[in-house]
Amino acid sequence: MSATIPFVTPINQIKLEPGSQVTITNISWQAFELMLQELGENRSARLSYSQGILEVMVPLPEHERPKELISDVVKLLLKVTQRKYEPFGSTTFKKEGIAGVEPDACFYIKNYQRMISRRRLQPDDPPPDLAIECDLTSKTTLEAYQAIKVPELWVYDSGKLSIYILQNDNYIQSDISPTFPNINLTKIIPDAIERSWQVGSFQALEELESLIKNNEFN
């Protein structure tokens, strides 16, 4: 369920049911910053802002399982390939005056060491190396990620994983992830998520880990 409304009600008074999405137009950057402050960090709603358009979304429970499972798969693959990382969850990333976005999950990999001690982002911090979104259907949100210059974005929607790579400040869709170039992610991640609905997330991850260790993940 989605709607487009003028911004007349304080954002913290707008009540949204799980699965709802609201688009609010003609929002200034200052108003967006104020909304973030009003809503605080302990909230169920997630916000995306780009060029004066704000989207507010409250995820369904069925959105949460894929998000968590994909995050666990990323951690598993990084461990198997012996790479260190720092997860930054749904941290709000902003490009001053232009865009703001809160991924379902994100990871610093190349820049992990720089981010180890971060409790709050600094103005000169790089964007995460990898961001993950589930059920992203909005062009506005993609534009926000482009503005923030996230190098790699994964979008899971309706049983399909799409990989977007930033090139010349625009996203191109790719079958291959630069982070995991030798792994067929567009197959193993949807398969693992579908499997989790049958046997649970724990067993689905155990089965995937076994496939990876036996080099049967392509």
Across 109-116, average pLDDT: 95
51 lies in a domain?
no
With beta carbons less than 8 A apart as the criterion, state whether 193 and 63 touch. no
Bridge-based pairing state of the strands 86-87 and 152-157:
unpaired
- Please give the single-letter amino acid code of residue 81: T
197 lies in a domain?
yes
How many folded domains does the chain comprise?
A: 1
Residue 213 burial class via C-beta count within 10 angstroms: exposed 0-12, middle 13-18, buried 19 and up: exposed
Helix, strand or coil, per DSSP, at residue 101: strand
What's residue 5's pLDDT?
45
105 lies in a domain?
yes
- Domain of 170 in residue numbering reads as 61-213
Q: Which residue has the higher pLDDT, 89 or 38?
A: 89
CA 97 to chain centre: 21
Q: What are the tens digits of pLDDT across the range 78-89?
A: 999 999 999 999
160 lies in a domain?
yes
The CATH number of residue 89's host domain is 3.90.1570
Bridge-based pairing state of the strands 46-50 and 53-57:
antiparallel
Q: What are the tens digits of pLDDT across the range 178-191?
A: 999 999 999 999 99
CA 47 to chain centre: 11
H or E element at residue 207: helix 201-213
Q: What are the tens digits of pLDDT across the range 130-185?
A: 999 987 666 668 999 999 999 999 999 889 999 999 999 999 999 999 999 999 99
77 lies in a domain?
yes
**Does pLDDT of 36 surpass 90?**
no
Tokens of 32: 């967006």
DSSP codes, 103-150? -SEEEESTTHHHHTT-SS--TTPPPPSEEEEES---HHHHHHHHHHT-
CA angle 22, 159, 161 (to 5 degrees): 85
Q: Is the pTM of this model over 0.95?
A: no
49 lies in a domain?
no
136 lies in a domain?
yes
